Amino acid sequence: MTFLPFFRTVARIAVTLLVTAAAVGGGLWLWDYYMNEPWTRDGRVRADIVQVSPDVAGLVTDVRVADNQLVHKGDVLFVVDPGRYRLAVEQAQANLDSARAELAYRTAEARRYEQLGNNVVSTAQRQEVMSAMAKAAAAAKQNEAALDLARFNLERTEVKATVDGYVTNLQLKTGNYVAAGQAVVALIDSHSFYVMGYFEETKLPRIHVGAPVTVRIMGAAADLHGRVDSITRAIVDRDRAEGTGLVANINPTFNWVRLAQRIPVRIALDDVPDSLQLVAGRTATVSVTGAPDRTPKVAQLPAGQ
């Protein structure tokens, strides 16, 4: 019975030590998990957005797509009034016919002068006739190019999709006037979806290109899988601005609390299930599962030593 208080004391000390060790180990694990493990909740689904603009100016006479509609490459999105461009084709065709008629006349004239002897026409007259024929040939080629351009502009009155994708935030209406080069339709490339994870700079040593990645999109039941495609090489330095005379302008203030910078890491997705609707801008949690092992390696001695 005299040993019972001693064992109780030893048991209490042992339990206290075990709880303390578990708390310390758990704290270290949590610190490493939240500070060093290559994962982040700051991820976004992104995609390439094609800004569709007409190559010719005019009134929009027909809008053939609806907002959020899936279109394929080559589908007509909208039509610019082709009336004036048809007239331009007709005018260019008429100019070409006139130029070809002039060329035929000058060619026949040059042939007649070639058949005449030197005692009938002078060398200067022959050169003048040949020069007129060359000018007529050049004018014909110029009008051929003008006709091709007019036909090209007429074809461009039908503005077509350049990629497979989704029309988004469609504001274009029939009757709107559009200028050449003015972006009026946004088209999301359906084959360009990827995830951009913004990792703290302290986690970069555990991230390398090609490492497998698990992506959990907020609201989605299943995880997506991918790989690290690339890591950005530059971010904005907010403490430095462009100064006068090509001299650096450094912010004189300094914040004692320094937060880790966020580095964009591009994630290429593997197979995406058809049931999951990828929307550019959705939030995602990104975890690099194939990060390099940071456990120190113990040098092994050769056998027999």
Q: Is residue 236 part of a domain?
A: yes
Q: Is residue 241 part of a domain?
A: yes
Question: 58-63 and 177-178 as β-strands: parallel, antiparallel, unpaired?
Answer: antiparallel
Range of the domain at 263: 39-47+193-288
**Residue 289 has what pLDDT?**
84
Q: Is residue 255 part of a domain?
A: yes
pLDDT at 303 over 50: no
Q: Among the three residues 156, 178, 209, which one is the final residue of a domain in this structure?
A: 156
Name which residue leads in pLDDT, 298 or 48.
48
Name which residue leads in pLDDT, 182 or 17.
182
Structure tokens at 99: 């130029």
Q: Is residue 121 part of a domain?
A: yes
Name which residue leads in pLDDT, 108 or 94.
94
Name the residue among 265, 67, 286, 278 with its Cα closest to residue 192: 278
Q: Are 152 and 61 in contact (CB under 8 A)?
A: no
Find where tokens 């002068």 sit: 113
Residue range 270-279: mean pLDDT, rounded = 86
CATH number of the domain at 208, please: 2.40.30.170
Confidence of residue 120 (pLDDT cuts 50, 70, 90): low
Q: Is residue 7 part of a domain?
A: no
Residues 273 and 219 in one domain: yes
Structure tokens at 263: 């580095």
Name which residue leads in pLDDT, 156 or 273.
156
Residues 123 and 207 in one domain: no
Per-residue pLDDT of 130-142, as tens digits, reads 888 888 999 999 9
Q: Among the three residues 156, 184, 201, which one is the final residue of a domain in this structure?
A: 156
Per-residue pLDDT of 205-236, as tens digits, reads 889 999 999 999 998 888 899 999 999 999 88
Angle at the Cα of 167 (from 186 to 83), degrees rounded to 5?
Answer: 75
Residue range 160-187: mean pLDDT, rounded = 95
Q: Mind spelling out the 3-state secondary structure of the chain? A: CCCHHHHHHHHHHHHHHHHHHHHHHHHHHHHHHHHCCCEEEEEEEECCEEEECCCCCEEEEEECCCCCCEECCCCEEEEECCHHHHHHHHHHHHHHHHHHHHHHHHHHHHHHHHHCCCCCCCHHHHHHHHHHHHHHHHHHHHHHHHHHHHHHHHHCCEEECCCCEEEECCCCCCCCEECCCCCCEEEEECCCCEEEEEEEHHHHHHCCCCCEEEEEECCCCCCEEEEEEEECCCCCCCCEEECHHHCEEECCCCCCCCCCCEEEEEEEECCCCCCCCCCCCCEEEEEECCCCCCCCCCCCCCCCC
Name which residue leads in pLDDT, 299 or 84.
84
Q: Is residue 94 part of a domain?
A: yes
CATH number of the domain at 111, please: 1.10.287
**Residue 251 has what pLDDT?**
79
pLDDT at 148 over 90: yes
Q: Is residue 178 part of a domain?
A: no
